[in-house]
Amino acid sequence: MLKTRVITALILFFAFLAALFYLPTLGWTVFTTGVMAVAAWEWGALLRLSNSGRWFFALLLALICAAIAWLEPAALALVGPSTPQAAWRLGRCFYGPAAIFWFAGVPLWLWRRWLLNSLPLGLAIGLLLLLPAWLAMIQLRQAGPWVLLAIMMIVWLADTGAYFAGRRWGRHKLAPNISPGKTWEGAAGGAVAVIVYGFVVSYYFPGVLTASAWRLLIALLVVTGVSIIGDLLESLLKRQAGLKDSSNILPGHGGLLDRIDSLTSTLPIVALFWLAVVH
């Protein structure tokens, strides 16, 4: 199982790097649309949709992405360099609701452990999770592939640091009724890994962050916290749906949504800040 997991991870990582660094803007937009369409198909499993219903939702999300690209090409840099006005106009429509959802709605949801038993609400939340993340992957790449990779590495390091710190020192459960394997010690380990990494690669971050060590520290802790919240939300929904993984399309890893759950929460928040400060 470990060998399969490692091989799958390497294939995914190098395929992602190839797309990130070598695809043109249109190709990257198509690539990210495909990623989110697969995630939408898996989201349908959490809603207990039929197979046809899951495919319908994946197609719906892909069509919405295509419509956005058609109506707002300047905001996605599909017709030359993106203009700050177009990028901000589109970004705030998606990142604003996403920020409210992740900072206010999801913590309350996790505390109350609400059941997602309304199909219209479930589909709407699926779009709220996936569309802002899709847009963020496109707009943040406009700052440069290395910038987007540096941001995504924060999330991956938070997960990795939490895993190893939790296994070594984990004693106090973070959310035992949602994800019994997560501990406060693991969360602290993830935060330490992110802080060290963030200060090392701070060259790629906006000057408004790097000008103050305390400001950069707070930003890194916020991103770490939001990534944990994103992970916990999917864990809760999988537990309520009676699923171990969102799917089994990735050998040794489960589903694609299992791999990007923390990114769906963090990327829109980072993109909102990035557009507000840089533009």
Q: How large is the average pLDDT for residues 50-78?
A: 94
Which position has the token pair 């369409």? 37
Supply the range of the domain harboring residue 75: 2-278
Ranges 25-29, 208-212, 266-270: which has the least confidence? 208-212
DSSP string, 186-232: HHHHHHHHHHHHHHHTGGGS-HHHHT-HHHHHHHHHHHHHHHHHHHH
252 or 36, higher pLDDT: 36
Ranges 35-39, 78-82, 159-163, 184-188: which has the least confidence? 78-82
Q: How far apart are CA 227 and CA 229, in angstroms?
A: 5
Write down the pLDDT at residue 278: 67
pLDDT category at 71 given cuts 50, 70, 90 is very high
| pLDDT 10s digits, 159-189 | 888 888 888 898 899 988 888 888 999 999 9
- Residue 224: C-alpha distances to residues 82, 176, 188, 206, 270 (Å): 29, 19, 10, 18, 11
Helix (H) or strand (E) holding 175: strand 173-175
Write down the pLDDT at residue 98: 96
| Sign of torsion over alpha carbons 64, 70, 76, 78 | positive
Q: How high does pLDDT run on average in the chain? A: 89
H helices within 83-118, ranges in order?
A: 84-100, 106-112
| pLDDT 10s digits, 190-248 | 999 999 999 998 877 777 777 788 888 999 999 999 999 999 998 899 888 888 877 77
Above pLDDT 70, what percent of the chain?
96
Which position has the token pair 């408004």? 208
| pLDDT 10s digits, 109-149 | 999 988 888 899 999 999 999 999 999 999 999 989 998 99
Q: What domain count does the chain have?
A: 1
pLDDT category at 266 given cuts 50, 70, 90 is very high
Q: How far apart are CA 272 and CA 81, in angstroms?
A: 19
CA 267 to chain centre: 5
